Amino acid sequence: MKAYLLFALKRFIQLVAVVFCGCSIAFLVAHLSPISPVDTIIMQVTGRSASSPEAIKTLRAVLTEEFGLNVPLWQQYLNFIRHLFVLDFGPALIAFPTPAMNLVMLALPWTFGLLLVATVITWTVGNIAGGLAGYFQNSRLLKAFGIVAIGIQPIPYYIVAFLLVIIFGFLWPVLPISGGFAMDVAEGWTLQFALSVIYYSILPASALIIVGIGTWFLGMRALVSNIITEDYVTYAELAGVRQGRIVGSYVIRNALVPQLTALALTLGSIFSGTVITEQVFTYPGLGSLLVRAVNGGDTGVVLAISCISIMSVASAIFIIDLLHPLIDPRVRSE
Amino acid sequence: MTDILTVEDLKAYYLMNYFGVNREVRAVDGISMSIARNEIYGIAGESSSGKTSLIKVLAAATRPPLKIVGGSALYHFKSGDIDIAKASERELEAIRWRNLSYIMQGSMSVLNPLRKVGRIFEDFAARPLGLSGGAFRQRVVEHLERLKLSPQLLNAYPHELSGGMRQRVTIGLATVCNPEFIIADEPTTALDVVVQKDVLSLVKRLQTEFGSSIVFVTHDMAVHASIADRVGIIYAGRLVEEAPTRTLFAAPKHPYTAHLVASLPRIGDTGQRPALEGRPPSLANPPAGCRFHPRCPLALDKCKTEVPPLELVAPGQRSACWRWADVRPIVPAPAKVAEAVR
Amino acid sequence: MFSVLRDLIRYNAEFAIGLVLVGLVILFSLLSFVSPVDPTAVSRVAPDMAPSLDYIFGTNSRGQDMFWQLAFAFRNTLTFGLTVAFFSRIIAIAVGLLAGYLGGWIDRSLMFVTDIFVAIPIFPILILFYFVLKTNANGLSLALLMACFGWPYDARLIRSVALGLRYREFSRQALFAGMSPVKIMFEEHLPYVMPIIFSTALANMIWSIGLEVTLAVLGFTNLNIPTVGTTLYWANNHSALVVGTWWWIAVPVAIVVILFVGLFLLAVSLNEYIDPRSRLRRMGA
């Protein structure tokens, strides 16, 4: 038990380091901008109506202080870090003066839910199918599946999402292609709402699943092809152990361990894929928010989304790392 | 019938086709022998002599590219006869682990690292024994205790056990159903001598207490000397000599055996040993005639073209050499052994 | 080396198909060097014309010939992919070899940094990058930024190979014989590392091109440079599907899929070729 706690502590330190570095990079990139948010607002205000120069100067001073831009860069950085701890990213430009964080928190559950469901389905179904394909190498059905997977796997998220929009938006409109839930259903913890959410998430989730399943299938199949040559599998086979037991507990179970590691490594890109898919389906998650923010020139929100996504992905990796010793007894004794 | 296994002209080749190149490696090329009940038969030979392939055939463990291309290997179990070379998968399943079991080379990795030892026992032995639950566990515990292994092992994971312990657990696993025939492939390689001694005495007890017949494969002649009743020497896919252990060591009747036996150091021995020139032939393209002739100090012209048959040359001793009568031990056997043989 | 290629082409179907697919796309993009058309010009030909003998890939709503447009687009996209792959290989090799060979605290700190980069989702950072630089973000700077994120996974791979090689007998013998470590690295070890570098470079290309397409489609790159992504962006912008100019989207998507499938097949078959265990498995009667 003590070893496990030590292990968890090490991983936690790594988590903190990742979040820190990632957010710092985001901060640095954000402040490369030649355009300051203050100027953007001033431009918007002066574009709408004429204002006296004194009013503009006061506005500029107030805004500069509001955005914390009246101090040198390193001090801005320190402020940023301080605010990071309380998750304060300043006001959002696109919904001034609502704090950027609020907008993010509204959108986060949608993205999180979609990501979680889609990833769990993709990972388990893809791996099991791949495992069977790797073991029963002569099965026609599984070989066909493999060829389909090779064809689909390299297609980027965007294109699959787009194709789904075309098919279900224009050719066969049976599923909703935009929004998170029906417009005439009230938000809340009701069954009606829940069903509506599920109904509206079918297409975006399908896009994620279609793209992701190929990768896991092919990876697992390759992994299993190697595992079946291992001594303990050969031994069990020639000892006459029941085939179901071999496929389940000797082959797939052993292959899932590296696949779990792989999941941790690819979470970053799965997250990116989710963001893009959301944008295509106008799903009310971080993706749509991000595009709105970029188009609105809102550094605060973009920075907030970047930092929150870094934190989320890093935390998810942390959790997966913690799961590792539980499924692989060899790691436990390290 | 006192024989438990009769092998007749068994042939098994590796048939490979890769990048347009066809290769046929004749790993087992016409082997005939028989093994009696309750005997320990040792198989010796260099690496890539074909002995592991022979074992795989006898254990019904052939997988592509290895394929049985001729001959037969007939087992006479109490439950009935079965020819490995021709049996169907269903028939084989009936005898696997129950009548015939196999201790594989490389015990380090034959146990599933993610499964507890107890569960592994269940996977392997519950079906052949026809037991489950409490009765099964009881049987396993009894068996382990007879082998002087602690039942605590059942709760451990394989990586928590030392190499020697794992090997003993593997032996326990292979014998829990009390099979009539056990094949052991290099079970003591990669173990230190102390553990080796333990494992060997365990194997010996399998024969005396359980009544199993054991085929034991190893290149280590010292191991054969300590527990085998009879020893067969394989060279380049063929059986070249077979004799009771003492006879083989004291009075070998094949030049290759003479050199093998001489490789064992003896207490008080200070002389130099002559080494055999050359290397074992490639099994894809073996020499014509007697396969040993390129390296043999006694080779005649006849040996280059005619294959010497494996014949009885002394009571219980077979040799495949035209000049068997001229073979002398390179280092004389210790007096006691020579006396016992005569 | 050529005999290896010849063997692969002759006996490995995946490799051959992959090579053909990728080759087709490369040839197509090379045509852009002899193009009579300036890719940034608009309203040059009649717009919205379906594919025909005159215009093999049709024309788009901006009045451009799709054939030459796409030739340029793919040239730019491929160059982009190659640039990212090249620079990220350099970083991956440097980090991987240093960590593998030198070990100790250098190894630990490099791996720490690597793990950090693995965990950071690149997408928000790329968007931030575009966001702050707007139209000043050109292909090269984007490529360099992506190269900074595309190396961690492969660095780990190279490191484990380096670790293995370091302890192999022939390395120690060479060292003992007086060969300098650098010479050992280049002459003895590089042949082991090169195949891995190639196949990871291919996978890297798929990744970087996919990401570029995604960013461009959302409108987050310099839209005046013709690339596959910007083509799709403009198609969307002009509501290509609604208007009926389906070829504006279909043709680039089809070619991109061909490219990706080709790269993927190449990477997979190279991987399988390198792995000695899979070679043994493929023998059989």
pLDDT in tens, chain A (334 residues): 777 888 888 888 888 888 888 888 888 777 766 666 677 667 767 777 777 788 788 877 877 776 667 677 777 778 778 777 777 777 777 777 788 888 888 888 888 888 888 999 999 999 999 989 888 888 888 888 888 887 787 777 877 887 888 788 777 777 777 777 777 777 777 788 888 888 888 888 888 898 888 888 988 888 888 888 888 888 888 888 888 888 888 988 888 888 888 888 788 778 878 878 888 888 888 888 888 887 777 777 888 888 888 888 888 888 888 888 888 877 665 4
The answer, yes or no, to whether residue C279 has pLDDT greater than 60, is no
Chain A, nearest residue to B119 by Cα:
A249
Contact across the interface for C264 and A153, Cβ inside 8 Å: yes
What does the alpha-carbon distance between residue C1 and residue C190 come to, in Å, rounded to a whole number?
14
What is the helix (H) or strand (E) element at residue B242, kind and residue range? strand B238-244
What does the alpha-carbon distance between residue C179 and residue C101 come to, in Å, rounded to a whole number?
15
Contact across the interface for C11 and B64, Cβ inside 8 Å: no
B111 to chain A, minimum CA–CA distance in Å? 5
> What's the number of CA atoms in the CB half-sphere (13 Å) around residue C64?
23
- Of B99 and A159, the one with more pLDDT: B99
- For B7-65, the DSSP string reads EEEEEEEEEEEETTEEEEEEEEEEEEEEEETT-EEEEE--TTSSHHHHHHHHTT---TT
For residues B234 and B240, is the Cβ–Cβ distance under 8 A? Answer: yes
pTM of this structure: 0.78
The answer, yes or no, to whether residue B20 has pLDDT greater than 70, is no
Torsional class of B182: left (φ above 0), alpha (ψ -120 to 50), beta (otherwise): beta
CATH number at residue C42: 1.10.3720.10
Q: In what order do the strands lie in the sheet with B317-319?
A: B100-103, B181-185, B213-217, B40-44, B230-235, B238-244, B317-319, B311-314
- Taking a contact as any Cβ pair under 8 Å apart, which residues of chain B between 285 and 324 contact chain C? none
The answer, yes or no, to whether residue C168 has pLDDT greater than 80, is no
End-to-end CA distance of chain C, in Å? 28
- pLDDT tens-digit readout, C9-49: 777 788 888 888 888 888 888 888 877 777 777 777 777 77
Q: Is A299 on the interface with C (CB under 8 A)?
A: yes
Neighbours of chain C (3+ CB pairs under 8 A): A, B
Chain A, nearest residue to B161 by Cα:
A330
Out of A225, A291, A306, the one facing C218 most closely (by C-beta) is A291
C-alpha distance from residue C42 to each of A40, B275, C60, C209 (Å): 31, 86, 10, 25
Q: Which of A3-12, B307-316, C249-258, C265-274 has the lowest mean pLDDT?
A: C265-274
Closest CA to A314 of C115, C157, C110, C92: C115
Look at residue B237 in the predicted model and tell me its pLDDT.
Answer: 87
Contact across the interface for C132 and A269, Cβ inside 8 Å: no
Domains and CATH numbers, chain B: 1-99+225-265+276-342 (3.40.50.300)
DSSP state of B96: B
C-alpha distance from residue C88 to each of C145, C192, C195 (Å): 10, 19, 16
- Buried residues in C92-122 as b, exposed as e (16+ CB within 10 A): bbebbbbbbbeeeeebeebbebbbbbbbbbb
What does the alpha-carbon distance between residue B223 and residue B43 come to, in Å, rounded to a whole number?
11
Cα-Cα-Cα-Cα dihedral sign, residues C103, C109, C112, C118 = negative
Contact across the interface for A238 and B60, Cβ inside 8 Å: yes
How confident is the model over C67-80, as a mean pLDDT? 86
Structure tokens given for C43: 């309203």
Q: Is A118 on the interface with C (CB under 8 A)?
A: no
What does the alpha-carbon distance between residue B181 and residue B306 come to, in Å, rounded to a whole number?
35
Out of A166, A271, A275, the one facing C241 most closely (by C-beta) is A166
- Of A119 and B193, the one with more pLDDT: A119
| DSSP count for chain C of H helices, then E strands | 14, 0
Domain enclosing residue C275, as ranges: 2-283
What does the alpha-carbon distance between residue B57 and residue B31 come to, in Å, rounded to a whole number?
11
The count of domains in chain C is 1
DSSP state of C234: H
- pLDDT above 90 as % of chain C: 2
- Taking a contact as any Cβ pair under 8 Å apart, which residues of chain B between 8 and 67 contact chain C? 15-20, 64-65, 67
Look at residue C170 in the predicted model and tell me its pLDDT.
Answer: 64
Look at residue B41 in the predicted model and tell me its pLDDT.
Answer: 93
The answer, yes or no, to whether residue C221 has pLDDT greater than 80, is no
Neighbours of chain B (3+ CB pairs under 8 A): A, C
C196 to chain B, minimum CA–CA distance in Å? 22
- pLDDT tens-digit readout, B122-148: 889 888 888 888 889 999 999 888 888
Q: What residues of chain C have any CB closer than 8 angstroms to a CB in chain A?
A: 112, 115-116, 118-125, 127-134, 153, 206-207, 210-211, 213-214, 217-220, 232, 241, 249, 253, 256-257, 260-261, 263-265, 268, 277-278, 281
- Of B272 and B111, the one with more pLDDT: B111
Contact across the interface for B16 and C11, Cβ inside 8 Å: no
For residues B290 and B322, is the Cβ–Cβ distance under 8 A? Answer: yes
Look at residue B215 in the predicted model and tell me its pLDDT.
Answer: 92
Contact across the interface for A268 and C133, Cβ inside 8 Å: no
DSSP state of B180: S
For residues B26 and B17, is the Cβ–Cβ distance under 8 A? Answer: no
Longest dimension (CA), chain C: 73
What does the alpha-carbon distance between residue A82 and residue A84 come to, in Å, rounded to a whole number?
5
Look at residue C2 in the predicted model and tell me its pLDDT.
Answer: 63
Provide the mean pLDDT of chain B. 84
For residues C40 and C226, is the Cβ–Cβ distance under 8 A? Answer: yes
- pLDDT tens-digit readout, B153-172: 899 888 888 888 888 888 88
- pLDDT tens-digit readout, C176-193: 777 776 677 667 677 667
Structure tokens given for B330: 């390179």
- Buried residues in A93-102 as b, exposed as e (16+ CB within 10 A): bbbeeebbbe
Which residues of chain B does A326 touch, with a Cβ-Cβ cutoff of 8 Å? none
- Of C32 and B106, the one with more pLDDT: C32
pLDDT level of residue B337 (50, 70, 90 thresholds)? low
Neighbours of chain A (3+ CB pairs under 8 A): B, C
Which residues of chain A does B102 touch, with a Cβ-Cβ cutoff of 8 Å? 235, 238-239
- SS3 state at C192: helix
Contact across the interface for A232 and B128, Cβ inside 8 Å: no
What does the alpha-carbon distance between residue C109 and residue C115 come to, in Å, rounded to a whole number?
10
- Taking a contact as any Cβ pair under 8 Å apart, which residues of chain A between 219 and 278 contact chain B? 230-232, 234-236, 238-242, 245, 249-250, 253-254, 257
